[in-house]
Structures are given as structure tokens and as C-alpha cells.
Amino acid sequence: MKFGLLGKNISYSLSPILHQVFADLTGLVITYDLLDLDHLHIAEGMTVLEYCELNEYNGVNVTIPLKEELIDQVDERSEEVERIGSLNTIQFKEHLSKAFSTDLTAIKKTALWSLQDVEAGGSFLIKGAGGFARAAAFALGELGAMHIYIVNRDFDRAIELEEDLNDHNIKAMALEERDMFEDNLHFDGLMNATPVGMGESIEMPFDLGLIKKARWVIESVYTPQKTMFLDMAHEFKKDLISGSSLLFHQGADSFELWTGKTVDRVAAWSLFLERIK
């Protein structure tokens, strides 16, 4: 079977290693390619999805900048993609492309497993307003978050996400950066849905004071596995979800969707960590 990752600047991705782990444990023979838009040789007039179908891909994961852009190009959309306005997984079957969000399912699973009492409500501050932030905001709202706050460099994007969440009965508010420190605001959870902290950067998405006051921390960055944000959350003994864990579970959900196989996630997680040492 043939899979891949669609996006830009994806040479750092661990997805090929991850999906090979799933294949090894389920006895399947697969390939998993990095399909960087800047390096694909796509014929003039051909869409990237037509390219994937022509090259007989069974499924692709999707990352920046395509999680929202490709929604109108797929043949079919799952109910959750229609709802949240973001996709990260596409299946090609019987000459049709169908979009899914395993970002949404992965966030829900990891939050229930890792964030104590998350279903009891609480407020989340999400930094970012792109495709992954959309999935996260809807997932946390559907799990019972009482209020979702969004901070983003492009404030218009934050407003757009706020409106979409409110339209689905999830209380949300876009904030300017300076508003995060207002005395009347309290955030039970903090989520980084931006690239801040990636690579060798020691930058953090949130102020130490906010981290100290929060109960829950979610990091989407997985290279490095331990960002400064995660280190501080661990030091202050917060319930946390790592970017590696989110990557793992969205990948497992995608693999199971494409193949119909069930992944032994305990064995796969152990093998994955061993291979990326």
C-alpha cells in the first residue's frame, strides 16, 4: 500500500518512521513518502489530489498549508471535516477522495487519557488559528470546555475561528496578545498550535506565569520531543499532552482508516520511541 504526507517544509517529519512501525506490527508492506509541494513535479493544470491518484496513493496525511485549502477539492468530506473546516487525512478509494480529521480524534483521545477531569469543563487558551488549532478547539469544546480563547498573530483568523465555534454552540472568544494577562481571565488549559519552540528554538508560546496557573498543557510541536514549553509544564507538575503523542495517535487513526487494521498502540508507541532515539 502507498501513503504519504502532503505539505511544505516537511523534511523534519517523523511520519514515515511512524507508519513503518504500524506496518511492521500489522504485517503490511507499505511505502510512505514525503510529498513536499515545492519539490513535486506536477503537470500543468493538474491538482495535487489528481497527482496523488495518478500515482496510486491509497491515502495521504495533510499538513501546512493545505489543511483548509484542500477541503473544496476533495470529492467527499466526513461529518467532522464539514463541522470543523479542517482536514488532515485523505483516503483514495474507487476513484474518489474523502477527507477526514484524525487531528480531532487524536486530541479527544489523548485529552481523555492525559488531562484529569477535562470533561468536567474549564477554559482553554489556544495559540494559533490554523487547521490544527481548528481541530483542537472543536475537540476540546466537544469534550466539555466551558470557554475557548484564541490568540493568533492574524487576528482576523482568530475572529473567524471564534465565530465558527460559537455557531456550533462552543463558547469562544478571540484575544489580542496583550489580553492574555487580564486579571479577569483564567485559563485552566494552554495549547500551543503554532510552530513556536520547533527545532533548536528555546522560545515558549506562553508566559511562565500563565503556565504556573494552568492545570493542563497541550503541545503540538514534536521536533524536539521535549520543547521548553513541555519542560516547564513538567517542572510545574501539569497534566500534559506532548506533540509526539498527538502525532502518534493521529497517525494510528489514519493508518487504521486506510488499512482496516487495528494497531497495537502500546507496542507501537514503544517501538516508535525506540526508532526515533
108 is written with which cell numbers? 479527544
Q: What digits encode the pLDDT tens for the residues 256-274?
A: 999 999 999 999 999 999 9
Task: Return the sign of the alpha-carbon dihedral for residues 21, 234, 187, 197.
Answer: negative
Beta bridge pairs of residue 2? 31
Query: What span, in angstroms and rounded, lies between the C-alpha atoms of 221 and 242?
Result: 8
The list of the chain residues with pLDDT below 70 reads: none
**Which domains occur in the chain, in start order?**
2-100+246-275 (3.40.50.10860), 104-241 (3.40.50.720)
Q: Which pLDDT score is estimated for 184?
A: 82
Q: What digits encode the pLDDT tens for the residues 156-203?
A: 999 999 999 999 999 999 999 998 988 789 999 999 999 999 998 889
List, by residue number, the catalytic residues. 67
Q: Which pLDDT score is estimated for 183?
A: 79
What's the Cα-to-Cα distance from 40 to each of 8, 124, 128, 175, rounded to whole Å? 10, 38, 28, 38
Q: Which pLDDT score is estimated for 182?
A: 87
Q: Which amino acid is at 147?
A: H
Strands 2-7 and 96-100 turn out to be: unpaired
Q: How many CB atoms lie within 10 A of CB 211?
A: 19
pTM: 0.95
As a whole number of Å, the CA-based R_g of the chain is: 18
